[in-house]
Amino acid sequence: MTRRPVSMTRRQLLAALGTAAGAVAGSAALGGCSNAAARWGFSGNPDSAKANLTYALWDTYQQEGYQKSIDQFTAKHPDISVTIQQIPYGNYAPKITASFISGNAPDLFWVNTPFLADWIRQGIIADVTDRVRAANIDTSVYVEGLVELHEREGKLYGLPKDWDTICFYYNKSYFQKLGVSAPTEQLEWNPDDGGTFLKFLRTITSDSKGKTADQPGFDPGDIVTYAVGNTNDPQSGYGSYLPMNGGAFIAEPYAARTVLDTAPNRETISFLSQMLVDEHVQIPYGELGPNADGSSALTLFAQGRLALFQAGDWNTSSISELTSNFEVGTFLLPRGPQGGWTVFNGLTDGTSTATEHPEQTWLLAEWLGGADSQRIMGSGGYIWPAIESLDPLYAEHWKKNKVDVSAFLTAAQGKKSLYPVAVGMAEAVSDVQTALAPTFFGTASAATGLAKAQQVADYRISSGA
């Protein structure tokens, strides 16, 4: 979920956006009209003609739920029609940015945290602070941390619509076969001896003769099922482990540099990339996709190659489809020397500064951020609703479908590390993944990898390149 191709430099995009904005402004002046962005104030009149809105997203499974929600919205607002535009995630960010240059931008669009700072800087996403206040929306109903994710300098750039945390999915049938129970108490890891976490991972790593890594006669050269497949990913992979050991990716939102190359982070990455591999409980990172990015981890879990799938809850629907031959449960990541943590993220709906229908676009954004829509999405098992009181609906849906997702909710109620946000973060994350790949592949030390990672990331977020 964190791989993002870069088609232009930020300076090129800003220049193009500036040119496009100038053209729009000039055209508006000739026609005696105001710029579309100016209509986000309260002095203008709502559009009188029927508004045809476009809503852009990337997830085909959630699209089904949002269509149900939007059908209810348009029934309440017959003067508004909404077309959902589905854009594959790999092309999503550059296509959204390019659409503002070409003049066919969606009115409302999903915003993932790595894109937020760039889109604020480029002026394509509207500040909705005054609208939220005017509508008397109580933002305290949202899960703690979500509003903060989408704020900058006291301004809010969208209402929260969902959230995600990182936990382990596990193969219940495999556990039963081994006679192993899922942990009822949170496991513990440390960089010295791996703690109870490493001991547990040995009990669920098995060879072709059924011997586990904690038993005499276990053959590390003939492993059929590895315990875990941690990945080179700051969200689903190593990201949650950094604060467990006192480290971080970035010190605070919108910082001009990262804090990757630190002693705590070097210990953490060494534990994940070296100790777990040396102990034969971590699947070789080369099996996890390009740069060990985790793109093959779900398939490996479904095939029985992995006993655990460490991932975000957005994978639940795919897991349900791919693992129909066994039941799936969840449990928390281990806690570290500084306690248990999870990377925490959530999406918002960005309102376009170029929309020709600002009033109607806001009505749709308000609906999607409200209880009626999020009740539909939660009860259908599409998302964990951002509105905290509605979260049991999602858990109940998946419990009926024999997938226990309760650990994700427990994680959201604990210590959360917000997904890093800064100008250039999408490119920085991609560059960091490339820089750390040799470390995870075992050809470079954690110190070397993190030094390089910080160098390339700091260039991205300090220069806005």
Judgement on whether residues 230 and 102 belong to the same structural domain of the protein: no
Is residue 123 domain-shared with residue 228, that is, in the same domain? Answer: no
Number of domains in the chain: 2
Look at residue 275 and tell me if it is in a domain: yes
Residue 457 to residues 216, 329, 397, Cα–Cα distance (Å): 45, 36, 40
Question: Same domain for 188 and 60?
Answer: no
* Residues paired with 344 in a beta bridge: 418
Low-confidence ranges of the chain (pLDDT < 50): 1-47, 465
Predicted pLDDT of residue 44: 39
Tokens of 462: 């300090």
* Residue 52: per-residue pLDDT: 97
State residue 152's pLDDT score: 96
- How far from 130 is each of 38, 63, 351, 358, CA to CA, in Å? 14, 29, 13, 13
Same domain, 375 and 240: no
CATH number at residue 282: 3.40.190.10
pLDDT at 265: 98
* Residue 5 lies inside a defined structural domain of this protein: no
Residue in 240, 220, 334, 336 with CA at minimum distance from that of residue 282? 220
Range of the domain at 316: 166-344+424-463
Contact 113, 419 (CB under 8 A): yes
The Cα 228–Cα 233 span in angstroms is: 14
| Residue of 158, 160, 163 whose CA lies nearest to 352 | 158
Q: Are 120 and 201 members of one domain?
A: no
Name 54's bridge partners: 83
> Residues 309, 260: one domain?
yes
Q: Check residue 17 and give its pLDDT.
A: 42
* Domain co-membership, 303 together with 329: yes
- Give pTM, 2 decimals: 0.89
